[in-house]
Amino acid sequence: MRLFIAVSFSPAALDGICNIRDALSLKLERASYTRRDNMHLTLSFLGECGGNEMEKACTAMDALDCKPFSISMDHIGSFHRGDGDIIWLGAKRSDMLLSLQKDLAGNLAERGFVLEKGKFRPHVTLARRAFPSFHEKAGVNPIVQEVSSISLMLSKRVDGHMEYTPLHVKNFCRL
C-alpha cells in the first residue's frame, strides 16, 4: 500500500482553496485539477509500505509531542515538470509547521524509514500537467487552517482517479 502523512483541511478552508483553484483554471489552457476531496498538505511521503511499516508509521505519529497551531496558505507557486507544471498553494513560513515536519521525519527515520531528501516545501497541489507555465509567485487571500491533527493516508488509484483514505489520526493536545 502507498502511504503518506498529511494535514487535512476544514470544509471552510477547502471552500477557499477550491475558489483559488477555480480562479486559476480561468488562466490556464489545460491542466488536471485536484478534486476537493483530495486536497491536503503532505508532511511526509512514505511510498510503498507493508503492514509492519504501517504500524511503525502510526507509532512515529503517536510519539509526536505537538500543540495545535495555525498555518496560513497565502501564495501560488509551481514546480516545473516536463509534462506540464504542478501548480500549488503554498504555506507562509511557519516554524511550528517546520518543526512538526522535522520531528515527524526524525521519528520515522528512527523506525527505519528512508525518506526523500530535499527541502520541505509545504503546499497543496491545485493542478498537474498545467500549461502554460506559471513562473511568478502570486499572493492570494490567505486560507487559515488550524493544525490540530495529522493523518496517515492511503493512496489508491480507483477507476482512474486517486483516492486518499485516512488510516490513522494523531490528535494534538492543547495542554
Residues that bind ligand 2AM (CB under 6 A): 4, 42, 45, 86, 125, 155
Find cell 507557486 and name the residue: 77
For ligand 2AM, the closer CB: 67 or 80: 80
Tell the smallest beta-carbon distance from residue 13 to ligand 2AM (Å): 16
Q: Which is nearer to ligand 2AM, 56 or 123 (CB)?
A: 123
Geometric angle at alpha carbon 86, from 36 and 164, rounded to 5°: 35
Q: How far apart are CA 76 and CA 21, in angstroms?
A: 10
Is 101 or 125 the residue whose CB approaches ligand 2AM more closely?
125
Q: How far is the CB of 175 from ligand 2AM (least distance, A)?
A: 31
Which of 67, 81 has the CB closer to ligand 2AM?
A: 81
Residue 82's closest CA among 128, 127, 135?
Answer: 128
CB of 5 to ligand 2AM, least distance (A): 9
Minimum CB separation of residue 1 from ligand 2AM in Å reads 12
Minimal distance, residue 38 CB to ligand 2AM, in Å: 9
Judged by CB, which is closer to ligand 2AM: 67, or 102? 102
End-to-end CA distance of the chain: 35
Residue type, 18: C
Residue 108 C-beta-side C-alpha neighbours within 13 Å: 25
| Strands, E assignment, the chain | 2-7, 30-33, 41-48, 69-79, 85-91, 123-131, 138-147, 149-158, 161-171
